Amino acid sequence: METLFVTESRELLFTGTEDIDVRPLHSPVLHYEGDSREVALRAAHEAAAASKVEACQRGFARWVATVSEITLDGEEFTESEETVNTVDPLDRVPELRTLAREAAARRADGKIIRDIAGATEPVGSARCGGDVYSLYRVEGSAFGDFTCYRVGRAPYNGTLYLPAGFHDYGIATLRGLFAALEGGQCEFLCEYQDEIDGVYHGLFEKRI
């Protein structure tokens, strides 16, 4: 008898009701195969740590790592195989599971990100200091109603800035946005230290 430990990862999509294999016709990515359980577990944690959780139209995608213990007989045929550990990046941000489940309960067509992000209406765009600022109003999102904007070289394009904490500053016009930014009366962000805030930004990046 011989025991092998195998660490692999697959890209899975959590739809709010189940996990779906994003690449069912592809083999999983192999990270380790050998006789060390400790090395296999470490490889799983390293693989999951390197994976980002990303918002897709129908859920949250990430690479989930698993460690399998395989027992081979004397002729190297598999006698038994058991998953001994699973490391899921989504466990780092459990709030996303809750969001997905709630959205799936409300949305029959499975497009849960659309439900979480709400409806977006462009307010207008104007040039300021060589850049074009485009203002949007978001309503009915899982985080409430708020105003956000993009800055780029063309209208309704460029870097997306979301209000810190999804606070609604009540900005209704570009003139009001410029006045608020100049006076330091509000805080908008495009970069985040916390992983979950980065996922939220990516979510709205796909919808706005």
> Are the beta carbons of 112 and 91 closer than 8 angstroms?
no
Q: For residues 79 and 81, give the distance between their C-alpha atoms in angstroms, rounded to a whole number.
A: 7
Q: What is the DSSP letter of 50?
A: T
Sign of CA dihedral 54, 105, 94, 63: negative
Sheet of strand 119-128: strand arrangement? 119-128, 131-141, 144-152, 159-163, 188-189
**The whole model's pTM is what?**
0.88
Residue with tokens 């380790």: 32
How much is the average pLDDT of 69-94? 84
> Are the beta carbons of 207 and 56 closer than 8 angstroms?
no
pLDDT in tens, 33-46: 999 999 999 999 99
Residues 6+ apart with CB under 8 A from 191: none
1 pLDDT band, cuts 50/70/90, is: confident
pLDDT in tens, 149-191: 999 998 888 999 999 999 999 999 999 999 999 988 899 999 8
Q: How is residue 76 written in tokens? A: 């190297």
